[in-house]
Amino acid sequence: MIYMDNAATTFPKPEQAAEAIRKFITDIGANAGRSGHSCSVRAGRVIYEAREAAAALFNIGDPLRVIFTLNATAAINTALYGILEEGDLIVTSDAEHNSSMRPIRELSQRKGIRLVTARTDENGVIDYDDLRAKSKGAKLISIAHGNNVTGAVSDIKSAADIAHENGAYFMTDAAQTAGLIEIDMESCGIDILCASGHKGLYGPQGTGIMILGENIDHRKMKTLFQGGTGSRSEEERQPEMLPDKFESGTANGPGIAGLSASIKWLSERGVEANYIHEKKLRDSLLAGLADIGCVELYASPAGSVSTGTLSFNIQGRESSEICYRLDSAYGIMTRAGLHCAPSVHRRIGTYPEGTVRLSVGAFTSLQDVDFTINAVKELASEK
């Protein structure tokens, strides 16, 4: 089996993650923050160390500003519903994933939030001039760092600068880039970072993070849901302190233990080394597919900063058929269709048909890439 769907979730995960999960569910097991016994303390320490690992990876001084969520979507919803109030203006791009677009549309239609979208180029990179022109009076600017269809990466420091010039907060959906591209929240000026734990951070599914920068006064944010936190139990009102304010209910202890081990593995391997590995593979994939006559590519160019993702179609063939044939005849796992991002496909001209998406990861080899190119070549040569 060749796994080319790392943009949906990376696979496999590092052995260290599996071992940490096993250890948590067989040796630790207790509910973090709910009891004072030593097992609960050990569970809590595992989760606190995960916060430290994430804070170090994204260069945030206070680990308590790392909030664990179910996934990137939950992180994005928590941030949007927390920050935006009736009458506020949010500026986003015309090439966002539904994890952002759906909550933003909902807020816009039902809660009186004003929405403006800034243009992107043919690969989904934000048009900084258009963003600047539309950002006056905005409360929040939210731009995806990496495009989940084309692999294009926007310069989030420039976008954050535009936000701050206009007195707005800057938030980024880093689901496609966290762990693959170095992100220094402080030097980039990112006020809120949302990411999956199970993609480029190589943790298990069911993990995500929202990190609040020092500029964000969390006491002014609203909570999306409320509940038990193991703290301030005499009060029936949600506590204000971090991270409890945004982490009601029992934490995903096993998942966070796995994520912590993965981030440690990633930090030892090096985000830069990971990028070089994926970039080399993606460039080979891009060059190999570009040589096939009837293949149409939807991908940011080889020379640009990109993720390990690209899309293609074979002229006259449905993406779903190609995806199925790659799986059934060659054992290659890909993803066809709209990739939860209809606005991206509208932007690149592949709506509603969609594309076949290939995405490499840390465990993909050059042989996997060559095998995939040959498979596409054979499918393209069929009449």
Partner 1 sequence: MKSNGYILVYTTSSAFKAEKILKNAGMNIKLVPTPRHLSSDCGISVYFEAASTDEITNLLDEKSIEYEIGGMEQADD
Residues contacting 313, CB < 8 A, separation 6+: 295, 296, 298, 319, 322, 350, 353, 355, 356
3-class secondary structure, 120: strand
CA distance 107 to 141: 14
Query: Which span (46-54, 220-228, 289-297, 347-355) binds partner 1, by CB under 8 A?
Result: 46-54
Binding flag, residue 239, partner 1 (CB under 8 A): yes
- CB-based contacts of 9, cutoff 8 Å, min separation 6: 196, 198, 199, 205
| Residue 220 to residue 198: CA distance in whole angstroms | 29
Nearer to partner 1, 191 or 247 (CB): 247
The answer to whether 32 contacts partner 1 (rule: CB under 8 A) is: yes
The yes or no reply on residue 63 touching partner 1 (CB under 8 A) is: yes
Among 184, 215, 232, 301, the residue binding partner 1 under the rule CB under 8 A is: 232
* Binding status of residue 41 toward partner 1 by CB under 8 A: yes
In the complex with partner 1, the residue whose CB is nearer, 101 or 259, is 259
According to CB under 8 A, which one of 6, 9, 40, 69 is a site residue for partner 1? 40
88 binds partner 1 (CB under 8 A): no
Q: Looking at 1-9, 43-51, 312-320, 327-335, which segment touches partner 1 (CB under 8 A)?
A: 43-51
Of 108 and 223, the one with the shorter C-beta distance to partner 1 is 223
Token pair of 190 as six digits: 């990112």
Please select the residue that binds partner 1; options are 14, 82, 203, 230, rule is CB under 8 A.
Answer: 230
CB of 82 to partner 1, least distance (A): 18
By the rule CB under 8 A, 233 interacts with partner 1: yes
Beta bridge pairs of residue 66: 211
Buried b (16+ CB within 10 A) or exposed e, 233-271: eeeeebbeebbbbbbbeebbbbbbbbbbbbbbbbeeeeb
Binding of residue 234 to partner 1 (CB under 8 A)? yes
Question: What is the pairing mode between strands 309-314 and 295-298?
Answer: antiparallel
Task: Decide: is 231 part of the binding site for partner 1 (CB under 8 A).
Answer: yes
Tell me which stretch binds partner 1 (CB under 8 A): 116-124, 240-248, 265-273, 336-344.
240-248
* Helices 98-110 and 72-83, packing angle to 10 deg: 30
> In this complex, which beta carbon is closest to partner 1, that of residue 63 or of residue 103?
63
Q: Using the Cα atoms of residue 35, residue 79, residue 305 and residue 378 in order, give the sign of their dihedral.
A: positive
* CB nearer to partner 1: pick between 47 and 195: 47
For residue 27, what is the DSSP state? I
Using CB under 8 A, count the residues that bind partner 1.
Answer: 28
> Going by C-beta distance under 8 Å and a sequence separation of 6 or more, which residues neighbour residue 303?
none
The site for partner 1 (CB under 8 A) is made up of 32-37, 40-41, 44-45, 47-48, 51-52, 62-64, 229-234, 239, 241-244
